[in-house]
Structure 1
Amino acid sequence: MVSVYDAQGVRFGMGSSVVIGPEELVTNCHVLKGGRSVSIRREKITHAASLLHADAERDLCILRAKGLTAPAVKIEPLSALKVGQKVYAIGAPRGYELTLSDGLLSSLNKDERDRVVRLQTTAPISPGSSGGGLFNAQGQLIGITYLMRTDAQNLNFAIPAQWIAEVPARSAQAQQSYRNEIVAMAAPATTAASPPRPAAGPQGRQLTGAELASHFTHLGRVDVIAPSGATLRMQVRESGSLDVTNALSRSSSPGRYRVDVQANQVCLDLANPKFSAMQACYGVTEANGRFVMRSASSPFYFSYTK
């Protein structure tokens, strides 16, 4: 079982994990979100753990727990999976360690390029199961459980276990991309081809109340220009969700937004740490068809046309 603690040492979250190597375990990154320290408990023995690698985009994080002695799982490749095969979920739902449930591999969910991106199963999982293992009948790991639909029956999902081997490389790449984007956001745009950036001072009229809510909720797909001149492609949905993609690096993040009509601000909450500079509340102004969103808590701002 994975336990997550705040700065005062108070546990505020828990999840599951799977041993993948000597003193190494894999879990979901969302299990660790907001934590200052982590521990692993196995058979009443607790080990301090530290983050070794993180692939936030795929929600896979690798932990190191010194002193942990447990056999590593064997991983079955995606190519061997068959819809309808028997599967077993093992985790620590609600803190109950090594809880076993069974079901079927009900679907292999694919993206637009026909690549398997998640496994769908009827094996029941619960809060606390995130980061646990989904196994085949031979005991090989096929997935890491991470999501259950509470608005439907028997809709549970796992991340392909085959992706675990790619976590270290993807983690290193993400860290380098993050450093590059932070430098780009801090640096002034110098090329003549750079897109126009908003002026530093206040400009235009401010959108407030119902007008602000209607404007942002119906924004749809729009290209926004960051202070560096970088283009960020933002997809805003009426449901309150949004996606942001860096047009140059192709890195992206899902997220949520909230329109505060009392404070006349739009607040963004993005899942990918690489977009932490955008995670803030913004006021929106308009002048001559160009809109500017300015952070209420930092110098960050960007502009767009609707």
Structure 2
Amino acid sequence: MTNQKIIPKHELIIAAGRTDHQYWYDMWRYRELLYFLAWRDILVRYKQTLIGIAWALIRPFLTMVVFTIVFGQLAKLPADGVPYPILVFAAMLPWQFFANALSECSSSLISNANLISKVYFPRLIVPISAVIVSFVDFMISGMILLGLMAWYNYIPSWRILTLPLFIAIAFAASMGVGLWLAALNVEYRDFRYVVPFIMQFGLYISPVGFSSSIVPENLRLLYSINPMVGVIDGFRWAILGGESKLYWPGFMLSLGLVFLLLVSGIWYFRKTERTFADII
């Protein structure tokens, strides 16, 4: 009886589940992949469009014009002592950032299906890169606000120094909701139809075209259940200064909801990401 040499078989296993310590360490190790995905999407967005960067300026500008005419000229709503276009655009900035981030995040995993199904890396990198791309749009759109302030000779107060704090809150809100939608869109593809409805409906129930000060005092806390109310009011408080006031009970409620959305979004995403490669 001849001895046969047994050759062991090697299998490639893409390990989606990692301990928390290893996972967050891997996030740092794969940071270059995060930069690459974000930079790739930025190049695609601005190179393969007809008007490039101008699109990030035209869309919020036209929305601001419509809201100014409808709410400022026709409805004659109060402007908190500032030019109505500035009032509107100070809210358009965080809203556009939030809406763009939701749109990009919800489809980010599906768009990178080939990468996810073949290579291990922390899947959280994909939606984060999508939010970073939306943040670039946010920075470009900020040039319109600077132009409006120069046109109306409007000088912000010291509160403008707190703007990075509210930008961070807007980033957290976008990330929290975006993670939920990204994970749900993998399991239930119908969610791609839900996202445009959420953005359209949210635009009208958020104080973008009007000041939240017109909401009756006894309803303002309930109104602040919408986490974008606190984000938008915070932007206006920081940018407009002057008579702009922050409704602190509502802002703290919105801030708590943003934190809850972020934590629960990370939890749900981490819980479901081990199945992404199989489902996609």
Q: TM-score, normalised by structure 2?
A: 0.27
Which of structures 1 and 2 has the larger relative contact order (alpha carbons within 8 angstroms, sep 6+)?
2
**Greater fraction of residues in strand:** 1
**Greater fraction of residues in helix:** 2
